[in-house]
Amino acid sequence: MAENIHAGHRQRLKDIFASDGITALTDSRALEMLLFYVIPRSDTYPLACRLVDTFGSLRSVLTASPEELKTVNGFGDSAVLFLDFVHQLYERLSEDELRQYQTPEEMRYNSPDDLCRYFVDKLSRCPIEQAWLVCFDDDMYFRHAYLLGEGNATTVVFTPDNVIKFVRDSGCRICAIGHNHPIEGPDPSENDRRSTMKLKALLREEGINLMEHVIVGQGKTRCIVSEEIEHMLR
């Protein structure tokens, strides 16, 4: 078996982490160490540097889509799959923390800004349109999140029946929806406006309050329900 000429360096980096934690590592070094576990015999530091240079930060690398990662020279399918797994694992842990481990004050809805931050974090780097439903109890505590649908780069479709089903399954009566525009800003289309207000009226008949519909695009947000209500009050 050929000797791994990088073994000594890898062990030194592991020793630094074991002694001082991840704060002792730059973004590139932390990513280099992560890649040890999917690229066993090559020097992973040049690739880690290319990734950080391309996406701007360790966080941006770990939240990049597989399609984006594949554009980086030298980054193969196994490594892409590995980082995508790390990203999705982090998202699952984040959801679990929100649902189970945070204090009630941290889980409580206080303003539309809370929803906007939530959906920006969830959707801003998604390469296709997704629609998500979040449900709140009567005291405005976050309880559940459901994926309503996935589409392509310009379209996503979901049905009112699914919204009603998920809200009822959650045991809640208050909900909000968010979806993203991967290739454009957050400005709602006329169809977005009409379908949102039609859905709000339909849910009201079912005893469900559609509190907001947030659109995320290019890191910015628009809140359709609030904007439409404000327009009607003018």
Q: What pLDDT score does 126 carry?
A: 86
Partners of 174 in beta bridges: 136, 209
The pairing of strands 209-217 and 130-136 is unpaired
Which of 36-45, 117-126, 179-188 tops mean pLDDT? 179-188
Would you state the structure tokens that stand for residue 82, as one six-digit string? Answer: 């590995």
Examine the pLDDT at 4 and tell me if it is beyond 60. no
Examine the pLDDT at 1 and tell me if it is beyond 70. no
Q: What pLDDT score does 192 carry?
A: 93
Distance CA 214, CA 176 (A): 8
pLDDT tens per residue, range 185-194: 999 999 999 9
Q: What is the mean pLDDT of residues 10-18?
A: 91
Nearest to 125 by CA among 160, 171, 84: 84
Nearest to 142 by CA among 169, 179, 111, 106: 106
Q: What pLDDT score does 96 carry?
A: 56
Examine the pLDDT at 210 and tell me if it is beyond 70. yes
Average pLDDT taken over every residue of the chain: 86
Examine the pLDDT at 101 and tell me if it is beyond 80. no
pLDDT tens per residue, range 33-91: 999 999 988 899 999 999 999 988 887 888 888 899 999 988 889 999 999 898 888 76
Where residue 100 falls among pLDDT bands split at 50, 70, 90? very low
Distance CA 110, CA 92 (A): 24
Q: What is the mean pLDDT of residues 193-201?
A: 95
**Polymer length of the chain:** 234
The pairing of strands 174-180 and 130-136 is antiparallel
